[in-house]
Chains A and B, each alone.
Chain A
Amino acid sequence: MNAVTRAPAYLGIGLVWAYRVTFGALFPTTCKYHPSCSEYAVQALKAHGLVRGSIMAGWRLLRCNPWSRGGYDPVR
């Protein structure tokens, strides 16, 4: 991806960081996946851009529920 197509992804990454320093810090939890959901979101946004990265991050969040097994799940 070139710099122009990657630019909107940084909006998403900014939001993830905003979440991390506010709500994420106030409600501490440990993720059952590795990398954690927020780290996964950042990596997915960097690798696949805003739209696909957001969908991937959203899908990961839905998978990060009490019924799932968790484990090693990197961005592909």
Chain B
Amino acid sequence: MNAILAALPIIGQLETVARHVLDWLHVTFHLPWAWAIVVLTIIVRMLLVPLTVKQIHSMQNLQRFAPQMKEIQKKYKNDKQKQNEELMKFYRENNINPAASCLPMLAQLPVFIALYYSLKTFAKHPPAGSMSWLHFVPNITWHTTSFWGGYVLLVVYVGSQMASTFFMSATADKTQRYLFMIMPLVFVFVIARFPAGLVLYWVTTNLWTVGQGLITRRLMPRPAAPEKRTSRTAPKAEPTDESDGGSGNGAAPKGPAPKPQPSAKAGPPRKVRRKKGAGRR
């Protein structure tokens, strides 16, 4: 597989671009190679900020409709195709812009591939300069499991990947969400075979996602919760008044978890005044 991909001319070009950027960071700013990778990752993520911020905003907006979407998912539990179609319909009817989109994620693919092949070349023809990072990664071209620091890096990877999934996974489906959260534990076995520099890229990009998620949430006003549905029946195909949303001003969900909207707390229970003479029936 690697050989097939490496034969593609575009891979070679991507690698050349990555090498140029890394060389520039290394020579001009005297950064060690590992830090050059970290800075390259930060540059890429900075370029993607407009895309990801918009994505976080859409996701917050989406959370307002979590209960209704859950009902649709429940209703078509056994028919994924129909479930997707109904969800799309629901988005359209309620003017929702689904948060998830392929482009921001895919934009990172060329960088990932370029770094992967650059590190492979580094391993074969080591350039001048230190290949270590923070004293616990002796060489970024080595396999992650070939030194003890690599295991530390893997633990940080799993933690940061889970945290970034928590912030960025744009699905309201709880099962899918848990699956996404567990995935790093499975993939850690695949990643263990990658060069440490690539894991470094991964950890950096995850930590950026977490930081950006935290900052955007703080700066962004919380979206208003939709009016509470009075019935527990699934929404019909036609748009209904209560699914219009936006006008409610109840409590907004805090975390990204697709929780049902908390019911508006009315404070102390209402006292019912009775006429003095009226007896209980």
Contacts and interface: CB of A to CB of B under 8 A. Distances in A.
A66 B61 CA distance: 13
Nearest to B56: A66
Interface residues of A, number: 26
B88 A30 contact: no
A66 B1 contact: no
Contact of B88 (A25, A68, A70): A70
Interface string B35-70: 000000000000000011011001000000000000
Contacts of B112: 23
Interface stretch (B164-172, B226-234, B259-267): B164-172
A23 B88 CA distance: 25
Interface string A55-76: 0000001101111111110000
Given A61-B102, A66-B54, A28 B92 contact: no
A71 B54 contact: no
A13 to B, nearest CB: 14
Contacts of B108: 27
Interface string B226-255: 000000000000000000000000000000
B84 interface: yes
A3 interface: no
Main secondary structure of the interface of B (DSSP, over half): helix
B88 A66 contact: no
Contact of A70 (B85, B98, B180, B187): B98
Interface residues of B, number: 36
A74 B170 CA distance: 22
Contacts of B51: 65-66
A37 B171 CA distance: 16
Interface in B90-110: 91-92, 97-106, 108-109
Nearest to A40: B102
B91 A29 contact: no
B170 A29 contact: yes
Given A18-B1, A27-B105, A66 B176 contact: no
A32 B100 contact: yes
A61 B1 contact: no
B91 A62 contact: no
Contact of A31 (B52, B85, B100, B179): B100
Given A28-B169, A30-B170, A65 B187 contact: no
Interface string A25-59: 11111111110110000000000000000000000
A12 to B, nearest CB: 12
A31 B176 CA distance: 13
A26 B187 contact: yes
Interface in B68-124: 84-85, 88-89, 91-92, 97-106, 108-109, 112
Interface of B: 1, 5, 51-52, 54-55, 58, 84-85, 88-89, 91-92, 97-106, 108-109, 112, 165, 169-171, 176, 179-180, 183, 187, 190
Interface of A: 18-19, 23, 25-34, 36-37, 61-62, 64-72
11 contacts: A19-B109, A27-B105, A28-B165, A28-B169, A31-B101, A32-B100, A62-B103, A66-B51, A66-B52, A67-B97, A70-B101
- Nearest 3 pairs of A and B residues by beta carbon: A32-B98, A66-B54, A64-B102
